Amino acid sequence: MNLPREFAEPLDRVAGVLAPLAARVVWHAETGSTNADMAALAEAGAPEGCIVIADAQTAGRGRMGRSWSSPPGAGIYASVLFRPSPSVARMLTLATGVAVADAIDVSTGIAPVLKWPNDVYLGGGPTSGRKVAGILAEAGVSGRETWVVVGFGINVLPVVLPRELAARATSLEGELGRSVDRGELLATCLCHLAARYEDLRRGRSRAVTDAWRYRASATFGKPVEWDENGAVQSGVVRDLDDEGALIVDTPGGVARLVSGELRWM
């Protein structure tokens, strides 16, 4: 199906700076999950930079096995295929978080806060703010090559959410009180993502971690807890290291977190 004008025109305008992203764009009015579609295309040999976009997802996937609410026309649901080296692969989700947060800032004037590893919050940090966007990376191997699908979902329009989500989620239009152009925002996200991918490929991962620190600084010095080996651990967030791990001061010493989920207290 043809990409609607809402997306086609803004993407055409930035085509020159998107390479290698958007070499091929696949559109679905409705699909299960753009990440699942992109993974299938990756297995079938799709080129790096291929993008799947949907107007609605019926089985949108979130982190930690959760689902991602994706009603028709209410958000941006997109997945991008990378065929990166291992060192670049490690940093891709952080880089995408930075790209999405910067794009929201540039497009709307609202400055998002990043919650490790890559949840995008508005209205303060994870304790006082509400989540507006999330990122899910899924990797696989075909032949001898690793592929990584990075999917991002941005809540653009306010929608009725289940009560447990409503208190923790928000949307751009809900915060701004005016309409947001989904096509322009997607094109801006992809421009920032292409630039961050280039940073990683050229060994400038420090530029990505510095940008991430800037967006997450409201969360530094804040108490957090997480589950590890069946026990609850707790500490105070200190920093991000150059490999994207979160450094947390705990009563027992310094913890270096490379994956998982934090609870903010």
Which residues 5-34 are close enough to bind ligand BTN by CB under 6 A? 33-34
CB of 96 to ligand BTN, least distance (A): 10
Min separation Cβ 32 and ligand BTN, Å = 8
Residue of 49, 97, 134, 183 that binds ligand BTN (CB under 6 A): 134
Nearer to ligand BTN, 229 or 259 (CB): 259
Site string for ligand BTN, 92-131 (x = CB under 6 A): ---------------------------x------------
Q: What three-state secondary structure class fits 265?
A: coil
**Opening angle at CA 131, ends 265 and 28, nearest 5:** 150
Handedness of CA 227, 232, 238, 241 (dihedral sign): negative
Task: Pick the binder of ligand BTN from 11, 21, 26, 135 (CB under 6 A).
Answer: 135
Instruction: Kindly state the DSSP code that residue 110 receives in the 8-state scheme.
Output: -
Helix or strand run (H / E) with residue 99: helix 86-108
Per-residue contact flags (x/-) with ligand BTN for residues 158 to 177, judged by CB under 6 A: --------------------
- Collapsing DSSP to helix, strand or coil, 36 comes out as helix
Q: Using the rule CB under 6 A, which residue among 68, 116, 121, 147 binds ligand BTN?
A: 68
- Which tokens sit at 77? 């649901």
Pick from 78, 196, 68, 73: nearest CA to 132: 68
When asked if residue 77 is in the footprint of ligand BTN (CB under 6 A), the reply is yes
- How far apart CA 222 and CA 263 sit, in angstroms, is 11
Q: Which is nearer to ligand BTN, 136 or 208 (CB)?
A: 136
79 binding ligand BTN? (CB under 6 A): yes
Give the chain's largest Cα–Cα span.
56
Strands 231-240 and 223-228: antiparallel
Interface residue with ligand BTN among 13, 66, 202, 206 (CB under 6 A) is 66
Cis peptide before 162 (omega within 30 of 0): no
Q: How many residues bind ligand BTN (CB under 6 A)?
A: 20
Applying CB under 6 A, which residues contact ligand BTN?
A: 33-35, 57, 60-63, 66, 68, 77-79, 119, 134-136, 151-153
